[in-house]
Amino acid sequence: MERLRELNNYVKVDLVTSELGMDLFSKYQVVVFTEVPTNINDIVSWNSQMREKKIATILTQSMGLYGYVFCDFGPDFKIHDPDGERTNNFIVSEIEKEINAEDASKSHIVVFCHEDKRHTFSDDSYVSFREI
């Protein structure tokens, strides 16, 4: 537990070995179940109740050569990864704004990447710049 706590001093981490239930879960923003020796129906019921209270649920279990992870961060959680592919890095050499003379709302940005690499951005891509 100490090594887990060292990852982020601002996060409270508790190991609970007592009775599980909503009285306990209501104290947290995220509840992580690992190797839980209980009926899966209990966890499904708790997850439903935690979802109503905006408490995130993570369920994980290792079973020898395989395992699984289930995450429920609620209906407001947005995933900004449309295809599951790794995030790419590009060196941007130039950015230009192309203005449509007939309709300014149809103007767009043109990104030029270093080394003639084709970027994988789409119209709704989230882009962050660093080392400017």
In terms of residue numbers, what domain contains 125?
79-132
Helix (H) or strand (E) holding 30: strand 30-34
Task: Please say which residue of 72, 101, 117 terminates a domain.
Answer: 72
Mean pLDDT of 2-24: 85
Residue 91 has pLDDT above 80, yes or no: no
Residue 114 has pLDDT above 90, yes or no: no
d(CA 114, CA 78): 31
Indicate if 19 and 42 belong to the same structural domain.
Answer: yes
Which carries the bigger pLDDT value, residue 56 or residue 109? 56
Q: Please tell me the predicted confidence (pLDDT) of residue 45.
A: 92
Band (129; pLDDT cuts 50, 70, 90) = confident
Sequence-distant (≥ 6) Cβ neighbours of residue 5 within 8 angstroms: 11, 13
Mean pLDDT of 92-98: 79
Task: Please say which residue of 31, 55, 72 terminates a domain.
Answer: 72
Indicate if 49 and 102 belong to the same structural domain.
Answer: no
Indicate if 37 and 99 belong to the same structural domain.
Answer: no
Mean pLDDT of 104-117: 73
SS3 51: helix
Indicate if 46 and 99 belong to the same structural domain.
Answer: no
Indicate if 58 and 32 belong to the same structural domain.
Answer: yes
d(CA 121, CA 38): 45
Q: What is the mean pLDDT of the chain?
A: 82
d(CA 110, CA 93): 11
Indicate if 65 and 13 belong to the same structural domain.
Answer: yes
Q: Please tell me the predicted confidence (pLDDT) of residue 34.
A: 83
Indicate if 20 and 57 belong to the same structural domain.
Answer: yes
Phi-psi region at 76: left, alpha or beta (left = phi > 0; alpha = psi -120 to 50): alpha
Q: Please tell me the predicted confidence (pLDDT) of residue 73.
A: 94
Indicate if 53 and 88 belong to the same structural domain.
Answer: no
Q: Tell me: the pLDDT tens digits for 27-79?
A: 899 998 887 767 788 888 999 999 999 999 999 988 888 888 999 999 888 87
The residue whose two tokens read 């429920």 is 72
Indicate if 99 and 66 belong to the same structural domain.
Answer: no
